[in-house]
Structure 1
């Protein structure tokens, strides 16, 4: 499940929590034999009482006899879409998705004529999907021999995660139909770390930098610094960040990215405020402090030396833009103009850290990932649990086939380039309006 950690566990602030015992504040609570399911559930409850953002909404008398995963779910607030628990000795307890198992995602669309089309929207580099020859923009006709319909799309997607071999019938989109269809086999496997992709567009001497960032792992400050040093050396005047498929990651890496854009900030400028329950209280961190939570990160001053000193930035988003990538959008706003283009983001205005048993030897193998903080920018602005709405709404699927990311004629990117260079729209207009019925990453990032 190594790839799962890249996508999800890094969406939390990278701290470690040491819980040496299960000391209870409630002396009347039941005591169970060590090692029993009930004793594990007591540990889960105690930990959640201490850290969970909605601890005051937890049931007073939960059922300690439930399986651990079910017990954990019984503690969660109704509005909590993101907390989860895994058993580190049992891979079946980890959330699964098409993306983290096979390295691609797709969307099921309804065309204006009522027909259904399934388009591959993302293929990770060095993934099982890319090794099998899948590419962004290809159309899927069948999955494991079944034609995708609005009625079976979600169930079919969920069934994929219980398999290790995926049989697809795919083809290319041309003039409203699928041509050159072929059968492709994709095997379950690991996707390598995703590289940053950058380009520089130049028209009439005005240079625009484009940077696609798939996620925010710790340890990415050197490559961020390198990309912005190149942008600065080339005289880039405008910047487009593509975060449309970015689930999030390290808040420290997000802070590092933000330090490379605006002018007028210092190491001591406030970057973020975390607000927890009555135990967690409120924690404020400057740019320098947040970046330093990654022990291997370049420091603020080194990074800021390559700042583009911008007064605005364009950010491309979708419903898959989440967590640390939403923090980038929200927490840049006090320092420059953020022009968001695309679709409404997921709405993960919260963060947390891993809660696990650090005793040696470890007695409990379960690992919790609860919501612990709500997050706010330097102006105290947050509360985007329904997502962050773009100033410029653009449908990525407005014109098929989907073009490669970074292509100047790709729908979202071209809409920004047209705005920057004040051109009339020069991309083909869609002859059929698409309606998104289902996306393969929806169940995974909203479990």
Structure 2
């Protein structure tokens, strides 16, 4: 028998890479990794260092495999730690270079342009947050810097129903400059507002002309565990100048409330609306699938039209079936029930700098098909998606990806989770490059001197949308006296922040390499 020696093809090399990756070179778990050892990398050897490197080992291996910018981070290179006599020691000492896993993740594993990947010390806390459950007093607010010093002040955006704040004398538009008698500034606001303190007292303020002036009012608020926020905040319909206008304020893409969202659209449809104003100004994002459902409710029933196409890193992209990377519009919810559909060719969407991720995905995904009129401010610019990862390396076809049914497979000595960016969603036109944000068609900031009541016809952003819908020639002024130049907001201090996440990822298909 004659053997014809030929160089290995790229596909065969990749196949060998994956076989090695999943089989783990060694499956005896002696490196504390659960057997998931990538080729050309040494195993962690705990005996070489005093620092517990269990968490760091999990973080590195999950990031090396899934991270969208893996090829751009030298520390994540497949050959960063050569498998030679010193390999295990080099890799182990690298893992031990940061005692704190949080510092290790932030300082050693992230691409310098990544603003959004993050970690959590407990995966249960993170997954609850993704479901809209958190430790909160229910006050949602923006924070703004004074122009002439380091002090800051807050303004109330809205209050979560059934929360502690909902029982107190505080409402949208009110301002505060201090907490527990201390003036808020850039150095102390995180500890005072988002620290471990269960209860704090806000020192309130007024706007006098264009000056923020403290007053004598105080409001004491207490954070409660497991506060659940229904993101379907407000639904209204109006008859104005012969137009039937629907208004929906939606504050988070939380898939546990998909039925409520579908019902809200159903109510507006039953009311006979012919126009929709979708208010996403305070919506930092969330579930990719919920964004798809909402977009389908607005656009309609053509389930052959592409809503998004996912892009993973260059190493992983060829290993998925193309159809598994595409999501079309749908007429069914996740549980199989029918969606309420408006079948609109135009939608008005209200945005701010706090509008991010899944909110932007709705705008971008609808843009190839219908007229999206964006009113407000430029959005945040979060165009990558993430997935929750835990220390579960043996998850077939999706190592480290959190799956509720596999909680008993997670390393019991490691409750840490990471939420890394693993891909980017593009629309049917192939567009996904909006890291600088999506620019409004009609620019209008919130005015601290005239915030208005949400859902009220005189609230400036809603009023501006109605003016455009009705073609009104009213001489109403939309000038802004005190623009709300927000530096950050309360939602940015929750585990979910401005994250856009997928519930799972397509399974890797090794048959594509045959």
TM above 0.5: yes
SS at match of 2:224: coil
Q: Does 1:377 align with 2:392?
A: no
Residue in 1 that maps onto 2:272 = 235
1:284 to 306, 325, 329: 325
Q: Does 1:102 align with 2:137?
A: yes
Residue in 2 that maps onto 1:416 = 465
Measured after TM superposition, the shift of residue 317 of structure 1 is 0.6
- Map 1:328-347 to 2 at 5 A: 328-347=362-381
Residue in 2 that maps onto 1:439 = 488
Distance in 1, Cα, partners of 2:468 & 2:44: 64
Maintained 8 Å contact 1:153/1:438: no
Q: Does 1:160 align with 2:160?
A: no
SS at match of 2:95: coil
Q: Does 1:54 align with 2:94?
A: no
Residue in 2 that maps onto 1:70 = 103
Distance in 2, Cα, partners of 1:121 & 1:439: 12
Measured after TM superposition, the shift of residue 426 of structure 1 is 5.7
Measured after TM superposition, the shift of residue 441 of structure 1 is 4.0
Measured after TM superposition, the shift of residue 116 of structure 1 is 8.0
Maintained 8 Å contact 1:246/1:322: yes
Distance in 2, Cα, partners of 1:225 & 1:28: 50
SS at match of 1:183: strand
Measured after TM superposition, the shift of residue 271 of structure 1 is 1.3
Distance in 2, Cα, partners of 1:243 & 1:198: 13
Maintained 8 Å contact 1:220/1:297: no
Measured after TM superposition, the shift of residue 86 of structure 1 is 1.5
Q: Indicate the larger mover: 175-184 or 415-424.
A: 175-184
Residue in 2 that maps onto 1:186 = 221
Residue in 2 that maps onto 1:317 = 351
Q: Larger relative contact order (C-alpha < 8 A, sep ≥ 6)? A: 1
Residue in 2 that maps onto 1:9 = none
Maintained 8 Å contact 1:400/1:430: no
Measured after TM superposition, the shift of residue 433 of structure 1 is 4.2
Measured after TM superposition, the shift of residue 392 of structure 1 is 0.9
Maintained 8 Å contact 2:446/2:484: no
SS at match of 1:228: helix
Distance in 1, Cα, partners of 2:485 & 2:390: 39
1:245 to 271, 282, 301: 282
Distance in 2, Cα, partners of 1:351 & 1:431: 34
Measured after TM superposition, the shift of residue 161 of structure 1 is 1.6
Measured after TM superposition, the shift of residue 20 of structure 1 is 4.6
SS at match of 1:70: helix
Measured after TM superposition, the shift of residue 153 of structure 1 is 4.1
Measured after TM superposition, the shift of residue 404 of structure 1 is 1.9
SS at match of 2:347: strand
Distance in 1, Cα, partners of 2:110 & 2:222: 35
CA deviation map 1:265-323 (0-9, x unaligned): 5223211111111343175323367976x4x353xxx21xx322211100001111111
Q: Indicate the larger mover: 226-235 or 388-397.
A: 226-235
Normalised to the residue count of structure 2, the TM-score between the two structures is 0.72
Gap change, CA 1:100 and 1:346, over 3 Å in 2 = farther
Distance in 2, Cα, partners of 1:420 & 1:90: 45
Maintained 8 Å contact 2:152/2:177: no
SS at match of 2:298: coil
Gap change, CA 1:256 and 1:404, over 3 Å in 2 = same
1:266 to 279, 299, 302: 302
Q: Does 1:400 align with 2:400?
A: no
2:438 to 382, 385, 388: 388
Q: Indicate the larger mover: 182-191 or 326-335.
A: 182-191
Residue in 1 that maps onto 2:294 = 257
Measured after TM superposition, the shift of residue 33 of structure 1 is 4.8
Maintained 8 Å contact 1:110/1:436: no
Structure (1 or 2) with the larger CA radius of gyration: 2
Aligned residue pair count: 412
Distance in 1, Cα, partners of 2:332 & 2:62: 27
Residue in 2 that maps onto 1:15 = none
Distance in 2, Cα, partners of 1:82 & 1:279: 22
Give unmatched runs, 5+ long, in structure 2.
1-32, 82-90, 393-408, 500-514
SS at match of 1:227: helix
Distance in 1, Cα, partners of 2:269 & 2:391: 46
Maintained 8 Å contact 1:267/1:286: no
Residue in 1 that maps onto 2:40 = 26
